[in-house]
Structure 1
Amino acid sequence: MKIDTRLAWPDDGRQSVTDFAEAAREAEARGYRGSWSAESAHDPFLPLVAAAHTTSTLELGTAITVAFARTPMTLAYTAYDLQTLSRGRFLLGLGSQVRAHIERRFDMPWSRPAARMREYIEALRAIWAAWAHGERLDFRGDFYHHTLMTPFFSPPPSPFETPAVYLAAVGDQMTEVAGSVCDGLMPHPFTTMRYLRERTLPALERGLASSGRDLTKFSISVSALIATGSTEEHMAMAIRRVKQQIAFYGSTRLTTRCWSCTVGRTLGTN
């Protein structure tokens, strides 16, 4: 098992680029495998740019970035450049978010999220292949069309492999997508062992089988809600942040599936 940490913006908003660079350097020195940046109240990519300059072995990823808030082409450029900047250490963690946020906060389309996500990732890989191998870009799907790429807009081939793609998933369909077209899965922090055994792993194995792989060729990255701090003030801030996360996650029906199968059975309601 490998242990990662998080690059987080503080509640007071006073953190600078230098702070992110130093936090990543310290994480690498302490032996962490990687550091992840989330998309919540801030951009998920900027901390990783800073971290790439002060580290050499630490993996740097997003956990998660909202896929449907941007087009595959927009994200392809950002991920490709971060992979080069980090010298092959970038991990692209994607998530769908929920309908209300995609439509009302980002003003982007929402429909058939699992099918859309599958096509989104396939489009990403088609764009990267066009840049890496000089292939003609001709991606045509139900949700996305990318059919124009001229030399002026093509970045040079990278000496590094394309970024690994991880997918956050709760339901069976999205979990199958992760197994089918991704390199890793990010279960929800609410996930219980029962939900993992009874729902997540069977769906994941179906997806892996469809792509001719098994769990030995795949990664599962599980996050935990932890509050810690070096002072009482920092501890109070950390506890408040975790409470906010729990309240947000608990307000959506999809994420409550993770623990309802356990809690519901315990209470005799499921």
Structure 2
Amino acid sequence: MHVDAMTTPQPLSRTGDLARRVAAAGFSGLLFTETGRTAYLNAAVASQAAPGLELSTGVAVAFPRSPFVTAATAWELAEATAGRFRLGLGTQVRTHVVRRYGSSFERPGPRLRDYVRAVKACFAAFRSGTLDHHGDFYDLDFITPQWSPGPIDAPDPCVDIAAVNPWMLRMAGEVADGVHVHPIGEPGYLARHVVPSIAEGAAKAGRSASEIAVIVPVLTIVGDSDAERDRERELVRASLGFYGSTPNYAFIWDEAGFEGTTARLREKQKAGDFAGMVAQITDDHIAAFATESTWDGLADALRATYEGVASRLVLYNSLADPERVERYGEVARALT
């Protein structure tokens, strides 16, 4: 099992030191989310600072960038990492894509499927010199040597997508190389939806489900004292309050036995009562969605829950406290 650390993009002047520290601590790789800063520039800096580290975008927003621009960027990162870069893509939500990025969002699932195919067609074109993709959303059929990065001495980058609902999971099994599971992907959800839906999509495309990486972020509460774990628990409670307010994720909470959680969180959110949102998250919620342990027991606890399901574990809060990076790195070493 590969074990990555998750981070939001940093000022570029800090990224090199972070990448070197993550590599030295024992993580397999470093995963960059995309929020106020771009994931790709951070990955580029990290590729030069820590050459052996596996890097991924987890996830970069797809639609505001053309498939060709995304493919060319991923191609350069694959070359810079000697094949250790994974391209993780997601749709984001309508408000961000339309009102912040000024891009189209109609039919996001089918659009992302076509986008992934278009990106892979660009990879093929960089090697062959022929670009030929005609989909429902993207038509690409022009490339010349001057405007192609050309072949590289590395495999094509893996293209992973963020998926939550069964349709997107099946689509991932059909066209992608991996799935970024949401941080609230508790074990029951993985068994009910993620594994069978990916397998169904893979079978439709004549692929084996084992070809598709399952990338699972895990919320952890770890410490050797009650006080240490109590601090961690409150951070997890706040994260769950934020994620639980998204309507598209409501079915995950409902099926885990917490029906109505999303509605209650949204009511508090609309009232601007953010403390009230956090207060809606009980210790039972936390027990279902997070892994709690002492430091010595964390690797075994994660293995017991995710072995045989996750190809890559992403330790969601492993870099939140700079004083705990190396301890999380020991856990990563024990799992790989």
With the length of structure 1 as denominator, give the TM-score of the two structures. 0.86
Structure with larger Rg: 2
* 2:116 corresponding residue in structure 1: 121
Tell me, yes or no, if the aligned pair for 2:52 and 2:81 is still in contact at 8 Å: no
Give me the whole-angstrom Cα distance separating, in 2, the residues matched to 1:99 and 1:266. 23
* TM-align CA RMSD: 2.6
Tell me, yes or no, if the aligned pair for 2:8 and 2:34 is still in contact at 8 Å: no
**Equivalences for residues 87-236 of structure 1 within 5 A:** 87-134=82-129, 136-226=130-220
* 1:111-142, Cα deviation, whole Å (9 max, x unpaired): 222211111011001111111122x2122111
Letter in 2 for 1:85: A
* 1:66 Cα deviation after fit: 0.9
SS for the counterpart of 2:201 is helix
Give me the whole-angstrom Cα distance separating, in 2, the residues matched to 1:241 and 1:194. 23
Letter in 1 for 2:8: A
Give me the whole-angstrom Cα distance separating, in 2, the residues matched to 1:19 and 1:239. 28
Question: Is 2:4 the counterpart of 1:4?
Answer: yes
Tell me, yes or no, if the aligned pair for 1:190 and 1:256 is still in contact at 8 Å: no
* 1:42 Cα deviation after fit: 1.1
Gaps of 5+ in 2: 224-228, 262-336
SS for the counterpart of 2:256 is helix
SS for the counterpart of 2:168 is helix
* 1:71 corresponding residue in structure 2: 66
CA 1:7 to 1:189, structure 2 compared with 1: closer, same or farther past 3 Å? closer
Over 6 Å off, 4+ runs: 237-241
Give me the whole-angstrom Cα distance separating, in 2, the residues matched to 1:245 and 1:148. 45
Higher RCO (CA < 8 A, seq sep 6+):
2
Letter in 2 for 1:195: Y
* 1:239 Cα deviation after fit: 8.3
CA 1:242 to 1:44, structure 2 compared with 1: closer, same or farther past 3 Å? farther
Letter in 2 for 1:29: A
* 1:264 Cα deviation after fit: 3.8
Letter in 2 for 1:37: F
* 1:36 Cα deviation after fit: 0.5
Tell me, yes or no, if the aligned pair for 1:167 and 1:184 is still in contact at 8 Å: yes
Letter in 2 for 1:182: A
Give me the whole-angstrom Cα distance separating, in 2, the residues matched to 1:198 and 1:63. 23
SS for the counterpart of 2:184 is coil
Tell me, yes or no, if the aligned pair for 1:227 and 1:238 is still in contact at 8 Å: yes
Tell me, yes or no, if the aligned pair for 2:132 and 2:140 is still in contact at 8 Å: yes
User: Which shows bigger deviation, 61-70 or 207-216?
Assistant: 207-216
Tell me, yes or no, if the aligned pair for 1:88 and 1:161 is still in contact at 8 Å: yes
Give me the whole-angstrom Cα distance separating, in 2, the residues matched to 1:28 and 1:198. 34
SS for the counterpart of 2:257 is helix
SS for the counterpart of 2:109 is helix
Give me the whole-angstrom Cα distance separating, in 2, the residues matched to 1:106 and 1:245. 25
Tell me, yes or no, if the aligned pair for 1:63 and 1:94 is still in contact at 8 Å: yes
CA 1:85 to 1:178, structure 2 compared with 1: closer, same or farther past 3 Å? same
CA 1:242 to 1:103, structure 2 compared with 1: closer, same or farther past 3 Å? farther
Letter in 1 for 2:192: E
Tell me, yes or no, if the aligned pair for 2:166 and 2:197 is still in contact at 8 Å: yes
Give me the whole-angstrom Cα distance separating, in 2, the residues matched to 1:179 and 1:187. 13
* 2:297 corresponding residue in structure 1: none
* 1:245 Cα deviation after fit: 4.5
* 1:28-64, Cα deviation, whole Å (9 max, x unpaired): 1222111000101211112111111122321000011
Provide the aligned length of Structure 1 versus Structure 2.
256
CA 1:216 to 1:72, structure 2 compared with 1: closer, same or farther past 3 Å? same
* 1:56 corresponding residue in structure 2: 51
User: Which shows bigger deviation, 167-176 or 16-25?
Assistant: 16-25
Give me the whole-angstrom Cα distance separating, in 1, the residues matched to 2:235 and 2:99. 24
SS for the counterpart of 2:56 is strand
